[in-house]
Amino acid sequence: MSRLYNISSSPHVRNRLTTGIVMYGVILSLMPATVFGVYHYGFHAFLVIAVSVFSAVLTEFIFNYIAKKPNTIKDGSAAVTGLLLALCLPANVPLYIPYLGSLFAILFVKAFFGGLGHNFMNPALAGRCFLLISFSGAVTNFQVDGVSSATPLTDLAAGRVVNITDMFLTGTNGVIGSSVAALALGGLILWVAGGITFEIPVAVLVSFAAFIALFGGQGFDPLFIAAHLCGGGIVMGALFMATDPVTSPVTSAGKLLFGILVGVLSGVFRVFGSSTDSVSYAIIISNMAVPLIDEISIPTPFGYRSSAAGKAKNSKKLPIAAVALCAITLIAGVCLSGVYQMTKTKIEEQQMAANAASYQKVCPDAVEFSDDTDIRAAVEALGGEIYGTTFGKAYINNVVVGKDASGNVAGYVVSVTSGDGFEGNITLSVGIATDGTVNGIEFTELNETAGMGMLCGEDDFKNQFSGIQTDQFILNKAGGSTAENEIDTVSGASTSSGAVVNAVNAALDFYAANIK
């Protein structure tokens, strides 16, 4: 008997492409962003990336070992998750953050659901959202060279001017993988190499831009739209997160639908919700709609398309689904914006009442507050730009004059905003007596970390300013101040405290320059 040859079902040849190559392709195309991130944010960024990747791979290895499953770390998918997660974190996070994030991503989102190909949402983004919820402060504390400051997106949300070129090239201030140019380059490489198809990125970016144009509040302003496109990870999301094959639809039509859903939801969350995390949440929510999208986007096959029945079916089936999905998101968008519009005046009224109440508190002698033409002109002359050079991102909003019952000037109230808060803007009213003494401060906008930065709103901190006459307050990070103009920091919240001190100093400076 001569030897038997191998038997198998046709086809007997296979493409070179393997799961490993697909995954390492993604890693390779993330390299421009990774390298740039490390270059821009320094060595700590590298540590964050290394820990994240290591944690992801280790978690997968250990799980497979314990669960007696074949070892799957060499297919590269765990490393991709780790890398993607790291690129979504600020460079200065403590190293346990990427470790826990990757562990959560791999263990809870991927391994527990059956490993590669079975996770129902993007593990990297799920990991990031887990971190956002559990370690909100650390994950949104963006620092460059050790200095915290607001991200361009916070500025954008506050209606301030941002530098789009900076955002595009360097990713000014944000997560490690925030360089839009480097991400776009990687995405382009991935697309050319056939790693991703065009449907999802194009659908996400176009629908997102359209949504911003429609509901962003600035109409079709190319610069404004470009700024939104360059910030908040929409490019990263569109190119690398939403295109994750496991958690996106399998058909071309499905991918388009999914992309539109991601784009519109990102827009909704960006415009009406928390701006930094809009894309993450939009994608993981859309991930959960994928089985449904798959189901409605099954293409009509060859032979059923051209027959009369097939034609009718074909021309109806997909567009109906697409139109329905678009309509739902549009209606949701319109409702949200409607609610926003309706509540806007109400909110403004309440804001005014809150402002008025704060004026009264910091200028107790006054019975009436009014505008002063000269001072108003001085405020307007600032043009909404950052005030001065030594106060961080401080903005003078408004100054009112408080008068007592007999019409004499009882003091001034300067409303000032600092963009350097840990979680965004801090706005406060600073009451200044006619002799330059600070009567007191009162917050009208304070959204800092509960139990930490929020303590700035407590009297213990606020009262340190009251009754002091000085040119400048100084933040004492060690505590136990002796000098009058030294302010003890709120323990563990030096960023928030510093922002407040800077804001008060800006108010004093403005007072000295324009009112005194």
Partner 1 sequence: MSRKTFWGGVHPNDQKEFSRDVPYQVYLPKGEMVFPLNQHIGKPAKPVVQKGDAVLAGQLIAEADGFVSANIVSSCSGTVKDIKPRRTVMGTMALSIIIDNDGQFTPVQGIGAKTDYTTLSGQEILARIKAAGIVGLGGAGFPTHVKLAPKNASEIKYVIANGAECEPYITCDDQLMRTYAEEIVTGLKIMLTLFPKAEGVILIEQNKPEAIEAMQKACSAKANVRVLAVPVKYPQGGERSIISVVAGRELKLGMLPADAGCVVDNVSTVRAVYRAVCESEPLMEKGFTVSGDAVAHPCNLMIRIGTSCRELVEEAAGGIKEGMEAKKVLCGGPMMGIAMAGLDVPVNKSNNALTVLGEDEVELAEPEMTSCLRCGRCNQVCPLGLTPQMMAVAAERKNYERYEKKLYGLECIACGSCTYICPAKRPLMQLFKQTKAEIMAAKRK
Q: How far is it, in rounded angstroms, from Cα 272 to Cα 284? A: 18
**Closest distance of CB 290 from partner 1, Å:** 9
The answer for residues whose C-beta is within 8 angstroms of residue 462's C-beta and 6 or more apart is: 440, 441, 442, 456
Give the SS3 label for residue 61. Answer: helix
Name every residue whose Cβ is closer than 8 Å to that of residue 22 and which is 6 or more positions away in sequence.
195, 245
C-alpha to C-alpha distance for 62 and 480, rounded to whole angstroms: 49
Minimum distance between the CB of residue 287 and partner 1, rounded to whole angstroms? 12
**For partner 1, which is the closer residue by CB, 314 or 337?**
314
Q: How far is the CB of 55 from partner 1 (least distance, A)?
A: 22
Nearer to partner 1, 305 or 477 (CB): 305
Alpha-carbon torsion, ordered 280, 283, 287, 290, to 10 deg: 180
When the beta carbons of 94 and 291 are compared against partner 1, the nearer one is 291
Q: How far is the CB of 86 from partner 1 (least distance, A)?
A: 22
Please report how close the Cβ of residue 183 comes to partner 1 at its closest, in angstroms: 21
Handedness of CA 423, 429, 433, 439 (dihedral sign): negative
In the complex, what is the shortest distance from the CB of residue 197 to partner 1, in angstroms, rounded to a whole number? 8
Cβ nearer to partner 1, comparing 250 with 323? 250
Provide, rounded to whole angstroms, the least separation between the CB of residue 74 and partner 1: 10
- Judged by beta carbon, residue 71 or residue 390, the one nearer partner 1 is 71
DSSP class of residue 476 equals E
Residue 20 or 319: which CB sits closer to partner 1?
20
Nearer to partner 1, 7 or 478 (CB): 7
Task: Name the residue nearer to partner 1 (CB basis): 110 or 462.
Answer: 110
CB of 14 to partner 1, least distance (A): 5
List the one residue out of 139, 32, 133 whose CA is nearest residue 85.
Answer: 139
Q: How far is the CB of 230 from partner 1 (least distance, A)?
A: 29
Minimum CB distance to partner 1 smaller for 24 or for 272 = 24
- Please give the structure tokens belonging to residue 292: 């449904």
Length of the chain (residues): 516
Q: Which is nearer to partner 1, 7 or 66 (CB)?
A: 7
Antiparallel, parallel or unpaired: β 486-488 and 474-476: parallel
Q: DSSP for 385-442, please give it.
A: PPPSSSSSSEEEEEEEEEE-TTS-EEEEEEEEEEEEETTEEEEEEEEE-TTSEEEEEE
Q: Smallest Cα–Cα separation from 359: which of 418, 412, 434, 407?
A: 412
Q: Cβ(222)–Cβ(185) under 8 Å?
A: no
Residues that bind partner 1 (CB under 8 A): 2, 4-15, 17-22, 72, 75, 114-118, 197, 245-252, 255, 294, 298-307
* 323-327 CB contacts, 8 Å cutoff, 24+ apart: 325/257, 325/260, 325/261, 325/293, 326/260, 326/264
Name residue 400's beta-bridge partners. Answer: 413
Helix (H) or strand (E) holding 144: strand 143-144
Q: What residues pair up with 428 in beta bridges, in sequence order?
A: 416, 443
Kindly report whether the peptide bond that precedes residue 319 is cis, defined as omega within 30 degrees of 0.
no
Smallest separation (angstroms) from partner 1 to the CB of 448: 42
